[in-house]
Chain A
Amino acid sequence: MTDLYSNIFLVIAVTSIATYLSRSLGVLFSERINMNSKIFRLFDCVAYSTLAALISKVVVFPAGDLVEASNLIRLIVVFVCVAVFFIAKRNLVYPTVLSAILLTVLIKIV
């Protein structure tokens, strides 16, 4: 039990260091970067595209509980919620609340 207990804290420590590394190296690197430079614009593009890549990967190839819903259901939920987002004049509340309800209902029906 003690082994497992200390092992979990080691796992948390390793996870935290691996995460802080990316954040702190980003700060270190940004010290030499001017916000009007081309390299800043390049990193801006990469940041947006990496986030988009991460989110779409989570929807198309999920890990955890989302695996239980089929790919078709997940995509239907995302498309409907995006449509609602634009119909509701970019209101974020409606698609956010709808996503959980719609996914739960579709899993029950299909």
Chain B
Amino acid sequence: MIRSGFYLKGLFSVRSVDSPAIALGCSFLAIGALLKNIGFNLQQSFFSTFFTYALPGQLVMAESFLVGASLVNIFIGVWLVNARLFPMAVSMFPLLKSKKQPKWKYYISCHFLAVSSWLIMKKDYRTINEDYRIDFWMGIGTATWSIAIVSTVLGFLISDYLSKDMMIGLAIVNPVYFFCMLLGSMKNVVIGTSVILGTILGPAFYLISPEWCILYGGVTAGVIAFFVGELND
């Protein structure tokens, strides 16, 4: 069912020195500590990352839970902040399509979709045989997801030993790592324009609509970058 060779290759791709494991681990360590501080127990913290596995969404959930928001409001808040996963899925899964592979693999493994795994897959997919890219992806996803779950549990357990300064220090690791990774992926004018415009328009739209700024900024920047690419062709 799953080609173990490709799966293991994906699984071990996070072992490299500059893999996202460090940034991912630091962020979910902080999430584990945060969840303990707002009243979650160990099981609940574990299940939060196990079933959600999306850092910004979990932050929104924690904040909404703290202020006693309704379930509908939590749903909308989380959906909005995690809506980026839709274009990420649409821009990655066509690269993994194969008639030899069953559909269930795609619908189960989409749970592994996150910035870290997406960037690794976009960087490495060309090196993998088309028919087995989904197995490679499942390996990457299992590795990054497991790191997130273990780090959440660890963060929960050591939260009493983490000072406020350490928590703040951990919180900057994730944006810095992924921003550098995004800058590193700027291999052509179109992707470069997408990243630069997105960086500017995301916070700019926050001044107009804090809840929708990521979507407004991202879509506007992406559409402009697409037409820049069309004009260059």
Contacts and interface: CB of A to CB of B under 8 A. Distances in A.
A52 B221 contact: yes
A50 B87 contact: yes
Main secondary structure of the interface of B (DSSP, over half): helix
Interface in A42-89: 42-66, 68-69, 74, 77-78, 81-82, 85
B58 interface: yes
Contacts, number: 322
A110 interface: no
A94 B40 CA distance: 34
B100 interface: no
Contact of B172 (A8, A61, A74): A74
Interface string B57-72: 1111111110000010
Q: Most A CB atoms within 10 A — which of B26, B83, B85, B91?
A: B91
Main secondary structure of the interface of A (DSSP, over half): helix
A67 B58 CA distance: 17
Given A17-B75, A23-B111, A96-B177, A50 B218 contact: yes
A68 B85 contact: no
B183 to A, nearest CB: 7
B44 A8 contact: yes
A97 B178 CA distance: 13
B54 to A, nearest CB: 5
Contact of A56 (B91, B164, B165, B200): B200
B74 interface: yes
A65 B175 CA distance: 13
A19 B82 contact: yes
Given A16-B51, A48-B195, A65 B184 contact: no
Contact of B176 (A24, A81, A90): A81
Interface of B: 17-18, 22-23, 26, 30, 34, 39-40, 44, 47-48, 51-54, 56-65, 71, 74-76, 78-79, 81-95, 97, 106-107, 110-111, 113, 115, 118, 164-185, 190-191, 193-203, 205-206, 210, 213-215, 217-223, 225-226, 229-230
Given A31-B93, A55-B178, 5 more contacts: A16-B52, A22-B86, A23-B86, A27-B107, A47-B87
Interface of A: 4, 8-27, 29-31, 33-35, 38, 40-66, 68-69, 74, 77-78, 81-82, 85, 90-93, 95-97, 99-101, 103-104, 107-108
In the A-B complex, list the 7 residue pairs whose CB atoms are closest, starting with the nearest. A26-B89, A53-B202, A50-B218, A52-B198, A46-B222, A49-B198, A49-B221
